[in-house]
Amino acid sequence: MTVLITGSGLIGTQIAKHFVEDGERTIVYDIAPQLQPMSELIDLSKIKVVRGDVLDFPNLASTLKENSVDRLVHTAALLPGGLMKNLYNGTRVNTDGTLNVLEAMRLAGAKRLVYTSTVGVYAKEGGPGEYFDEEISPTKPVSLYGATKLMSEYIGTNYAKTYGIDFRVVRFANIIGPWSGDIQTGTGGFVKQLLEGALSGKETHIPNPYPMVLEAEWVYSKDAAHAVHLLMNKEQLLSNVFNVGTGKITSAQEIISSIQKIVPGARLTLGSAKPMAVKPMSIDRAMKELSWSPKYDIGAMVKDMIEWYRSKSHHTV
């Protein structure tokens, strides 16, 4: 059996690691694979790296066919920052890209797809209850990015109904984790700026923090990849959409305090900004059906990332 992961960035590389550990033939398909950052997380000799665009349908379809790919994880996408720089290209990558992946699967006879969606598909007002719930919370994305991710969920659901592709979805909270490559998100970039600032020993002031980071739900890339791996390997499921977060909202100040616990005296300050009202996702379904739970709370995420930075000797403290 061969697994193919589109996108080999922050989360795609962590996901690939799990399949390599299982001894599965693992291919990553990325328009611009970042080999140095990837090599810090995974033994590149154990995976096949295909440089390719999800919009290049012939290349994608022949990659699946020639390698007898039967299971895929689709992470390749432009995140909000990248999408808003080029609406035409970003919208196409995120929607046509998913359509191409599913059509290539149909032609190659591939069976199962785990699609990486986002908390951003939920309506901001959030509907009833304290948590975003996969079953009852309304989906009404505020951003074009969220809309492209929801559209992809619809395309997948219809490929499942019409062609029998086993389509599964994870809706991630904001992800952070070890990754020295490009960070496409303002949220991930914010935490990186704080950590690097603390480790450099320099005073770091972020004058206009992005409102979304002031109150946010985070999930560690290792926990997120673990959930995808469990979801891929589970044969029978009651549901096909799973929230993957921590079920908790964390303030930016709590992140700063967690960093200062490990790097005492770190001088990290923020300008004033109004946080956006957000609610956390319920992660009960993933806990029950996948026997998954997040191992990292915000303190553990920060600790692991600081250890990783230090082990790479990027910074001396």
Ligand X SMILES: NC(=O)c1ccc[n+]([C@@H]2O[C@H](COP(=O)([O-])OP(=O)(O)OC[C@H]3O[C@@H](n4cnc5c(N)ncnc54)[C@H](O)[C@@H]3O)[C@@H](O)[C@H]2O)c1
What does the alpha-carbon distance between residue 252 and residue 242 come to, in Å, rounded to a whole number?
Answer: 26
Burial of 47 (0-12, 13-18, 19+ CB in 10 A): buried
Both tokens of residue 166? 């086993």
Distance separating alpha carbons of residues 181 and 236, to the nearest angstrom = 36
* Amino acid in the structure at residue 63: T
Q: Which is nearer to ligand X, 116 or 250 (CB)?
A: 116
Nearer to ligand X, 26 or 116 (CB): 116
Smallest distance from ligand X to CB 1, Å: 22
Q: How far is the CB of 37 from ligand X (least distance, A)?
A: 9
- Whether the CB-CB separation of 9 and 34 falls below 8 Å is answered with yes
Looking at the Cβ atoms of 59 and 200, the one nearer to ligand X is 59
Residue nearest to ligand X according to CB distances in the complex: 9
**Minimum CB distance to ligand X smaller for 32 or for 277:** 32
Tell me how far, at minimum, the Cβ of 76 lies from ligand X, in Å.
Answer: 3
Q: How far is the CB of 289 from ligand X (least distance, A)?
A: 20
One-letter amino acid of 39: S
Give least dist CB 36 to ligand X, A. 13
Question: Smaller CB distance to ligand X: residue 215 or 263?
Answer: 215
- In angstroms, give the least distance from the CB of 30 to ligand X: 4
Distance of CA 298 to CAs 10, 29, 80, 106, 165, Å? 18, 31, 23, 40, 36
Smallest gap from residue 200 Cβ to ligand X (A): 23
Q: Across the strands, what pairs with 114? A: 73, 168
- Binding positions for ligand X, rule: CB under 6 A: 6-12, 30-32, 53-55, 75-79, 93, 97, 116, 118, 149, 172, 174-175, 184-185, 187-188
Residues 6+ apart with CB under 8 A from 129: 136, 137, 282
CB of 44 to ligand X, least distance (A): 14
Q: 3-state class of 241 per DSSP?
A: strand
Kindly tell me which of 181 and 197 has the beta carbon lying closer to ligand X.
181
User: How many whole angstroms separate alpha carbon 259 and alpha carbon 75?
Assistant: 29
Judged by beta carbon, residue 32 or residue 317, the one nearer ligand X is 32
Contact 186, 210 (CB under 8 A): yes
Type of residue at 252: A
Min. distance of Cβ 317 from ligand X in angstroms? 26
Q: For residues 116 and 282, which CB has a smaller minimum distance to ligand X in the complex?
A: 116
Cβ distance to ligand X smaller for residue 148 or 258? 148
Residues 184-191: contacts with CB under 8 Å, at least 24 apart? 184/9, 184/78, 184/79, 184/80, 184/81, 184/82, 185/79, 185/80, 185/81, 186/80, 186/81, 186/210, 186/212, 186/213, 187/212, 187/213, 187/216, 187/218, 188/10, 190/252, 191/218, 191/255, 191/305
Residue 270 backbone phi and psi in degrees, to 5: -125, 145
